[in-house]
Structure 1
Amino acid sequence: MRRSPRHAAVAVASGVALMVVLGGCGQVEEVDDPVVAVAFGEFLHWSELRQVVPVEAEGADSTAMAQRYINNWLREHALLHQAEQNLAGEQKDFDDQLQEYRKELLIYAYEEALVRQKLDTAVTEQEILDHYSANSPDLELKSGILRVRWSKVKEDDRRTLERLKGNFLSGDVERMREFEVWLAERGIPIMDRSTQWIGIEELREQVPLPPEQLSTTPAGGGRLFIKDGYDAFFVDILEHRPQGGPSPLELVRNDIRSIIINQRKLRFVERMREDIYREALERQDIRIL
């Protein structure tokens, strides 16, 4: 079968590469830098191949690694050549785009290095409080949250359940202690989210919380008894923040800190750019002709 010039170039290059590889990856004289593969006028030299084959590799391993690299190199160049031959001039002319990208990358890398060296990232509590007060409309809750404690009880005896319900809802300290002792004696845990906020939807995954009951619960909290089939839920809401209300400071503290630092960074970069421009003008390194 007659080969095309392109296939011939690839085939010959593979043959040359194979002979060099079989000669031993670790035993090549450094007098020369022979070509081990060629594809459409582009050359792969032994020095390049040696960089990807570890010195400690021997025998069949080094041969296989070298041949794999050569084959990949040939495939890539065959594909690149085909693309260059078939794409219109304007489609393959990426020089301007690459130059623009290089400029942007250099500037970005320089600015980031300068920011890391010189930007003050310490944020005081007062700065956080000031930002929180000044931007409260932007810090509204996207969904309701709670601080809450709850227990789930399975109890068939109606009178026992009524007594538990009465103790829990009474608000009396002694009766509440009696309720908690009853739970402890039976190994029933109290799920405590009193010091951490929990989203209403997250709580509903564990407690069948009716929306109408929650809507009548004051912001300062309240207690709910919920019967759901064989289960009874005792829910002690310590604090309730509805959707659209202000976010608690502890929830947005880290976000505020990031915002403050980012604002500083923008101002720092803007000043730095202006200083560089002004100094270049003063030195007459740049000028309008």
Structure 2
Amino acid sequence: MIRVYILAIAVLTSLFMSCQQGKPTPVARSFDQYLYPDDLQGVVPPGVSGDDSIQLVRAYIEQWTRQQALLHHAQRNVNINTEHLAKQVEEYKNGLIVYEYEQALVSRKLDTVVTDDEIKAYYDSREELFLLKQPILKASFIRLKQDAPEIERVKRLFRSTNFEEQDLLERYCAVYALHYALRDTAWYYADELARKIPISKINEDHYSQTGRIFEIIENNELYLIILHDSKFRDTRSPLSLVHSNIRNLILNKRKIDLIDQMQKRILDDAHKKNNIEIYN
């Protein structure tokens, strides 16, 4: 922390001395390159002050000195074709300008409304894209200490579809369960579910045994698990699981089409106005 405040004092002193002497005083040097107070303009975003602003300035200065040191070393140890380098820089700059224009166009023109009918049509027409690479499951579970009371009663309530008994189980879990999910209707990939419960201890051959209570003991804790539905690898993924992915695919296709149309329109217009010529 002391170093941070020393840095802040140094930067402020440099700024003050610059104003007093009418010439800039550097805040850092790396070999023959100097960093001046004016170079720090914009480093700290509006609204950031105190220790946060000091840390940002410090990080920038350290990054600058590191980059300049590496650049100094590279320039003395690599034979640089300056003409080729300049061409690469120009191409990179031009690519950035075009990219910024394309992003501005997408921001203004892209239709981001994707209906459920469009998503369903995409899903139905591209079945091969949505084959599962691993099993998916719908599951409810209760995680308890091994010595939790009334385990047999809990298992009976867990199987029940009666609203009042489900309410009793919810109250029990609120008091005794370490973690539980009784009404989760979402699909989960097996490896995703394994981060919540020891599903890997259930053989995949048993995934189709829906409605059964699986009892697993791990780390002196009891897991009660009911599988409500399952789908196996190489079968078609449910639409609900890939809904968001399909929406993104549709939007990405629209984005590509929009950019292609823009490019074609610009080129066609340039050709019509004789702004493009290819000389033989």
Shared fold per TM-score greater than 0.5: yes
1:166-195, Cα deviation, whole Å (9 max, x unpaired): x469x6656x96697478458344522522
Q: Does 1:87 align with 2:78?
A: yes
Q: Does 1:138 align with 2:133?
A: no
Q: Which structure: larger Rg?
A: 1
Deviation at 1:34, TM superposition (A): 8.8
1:197-223, Cα deviation, whole Å (9 max, x unpaired): 233334445245420562442xxx322
1:24 counterpart SS class: helix
Q: Is the 8 A contact 1:194 1:238 kept in 2?
A: no
Q: TM-score, normalised by structure 1?
A: 0.63
Q: Is the 8 A contact 1:143 1:199 kept in 2?
A: yes
Provide the aligned C-alpha RMSD in A.
Answer: 4.3
Query: Which residue of structure 2 lines up, in the alignment, with residue 109 of structure 1?
Result: 100
2:244 aligned to 246, 249, 254, which one? 254
Tell me the amino acid that sits aligned with residue 250 of structure 2.
I
Query: Which residue of structure 2 lines up, in the alignment, with residue 288 of structure 1?
Result: 278
Tell me the amino acid that sits aligned with residue 276 of structure 1.
I
2:17 counterpart SS class: coil
C-alpha distance in 2, partners of 1:80/1:207?
A: 52
1:195 counterpart SS class: coil
Equivalenced residue count is 234
Query: Which residue of structure 2 lines up, in the alignment, with residue 264 of structure 1?
Result: 254
C-alpha distance in 2, partners of 1:105/1:85?
A: 29
1:194 counterpart SS class: coil
Deviation at 1:121, TM superposition (A): 1.4
Deviation at 1:241, TM superposition (A): 1.9
Deviation at 1:93, TM superposition (A): 4.3
Query: Which residue of structure 2 lines up, in the alignment, with residue 51 of structure 1?
Result: 38
Q: Is the 8 A contact 1:148 1:238 kept in 2?
A: yes
Q: Does 1:26 align with 2:19?
A: yes
Tell me the amino acid that sits aligned with residue 51 of structure 1.
D
C-alpha distance in 2, partners of 1:88/1:232?
A: 67
Q: Using a 3 Å threshold, how does the CA distance of structure 1 residues 22 and 146 change in structure 2: closer, same or farther? A: closer
The worse-fitting range, judged by mean Cα deviation, of 131-140 and 189-198 is: 189-198
1:200-252, Cα deviation, whole Å (9 max, x unpaired): 334445245420562442xxx32224254876543322221222222222221
C-alpha distance in 1, partners of 2:16/2:213?
A: 83
Q: Is the 8 A contact 1:164 1:179 kept in 2?
A: no
C-alpha distance in 2, partners of 1:238/1:282?
A: 64
Q: Is the 8 A contact 1:168 1:234 kept in 2?
A: no
C-alpha distance in 1, partners of 2:278/2:169?
A: 87
C-alpha distance in 2, partners of 1:180/1:203?
A: 25
Instruction: State the percentage of identical aligned residues.
Output: 26
Q: Is the 8 A contact 2:140 2:183 kept in 1?
A: yes
C-alpha distance in 2, partners of 1:254/1:240?
A: 20
Q: Does 1:223 align with 2:216?
A: no
1:51-107, Cα deviation, whole Å (9 max, x unpaired): 2478xxxxxxxxxx9xxx8xx78x94x875665455325388411111111121111
